[in-house]
Structure 1
Amino acid sequence: MGRSQELSEFKRGTVIGWHLSNESIREISLLLNIHWSTVSGIITKWKQLGTTATQPQSGRPPKMAES
């Protein structure tokens, strides 16, 4: 089973914008059609790191990319 695509920088920024306007995680997920756990993860990451940019991951990348 393949991994899902990551959200665009714009969509992550939209999540943070809705969060700053005091919308609940459930309302944000319904508005943007994203699972609530993804919304929660984006908000948590933003609170801890101050950014929504993709961080470098540990480990060796796959030798062959799935297409």
Structure 2
Amino acid sequence: MGHSQELSELKRGTVIGGNKSIWEISLLLNIPRSSVSGIITKWKQLGTIATPS
């Protein structure tokens, strides 16, 4: 199993604001493609990148 760590708001914003493919964003930020995809999906469904508190 992998180690889970919350991404910074800056990285989440970069995922949404970047006009690149999931693969390119993953390489740029050195995070898994599944994380990038999950952030984009959450943003599309909920309109937010904030983590629940």
Structure 1, unaligned runs of 5 or more: 57-67
2:5 and 2:22 map into 1 onto residues whose CA distance is: 21
Q: In structure 2, what residue type is equivalent to 1:16?
A: I
* Superposition RMSD in Å: 1.5
1:32 maps to 29
Identity %: 77
Number of aligned pairs?
52
- TM-score under structure 2 normalisation? 0.86
Structure 2, unaligned runs of 5 or more: none
Q: Which has the higher contact order (CA 8 A, sep 6+)?
A: 2
Name the larger-Rg structure.
1
Q: Which structure's residues are more often helix, by fraction?
A: 2
Q: After TM superposition, which residue ranges in structure 1, 4 or more long, deviate above 2 angstroms?
A: none
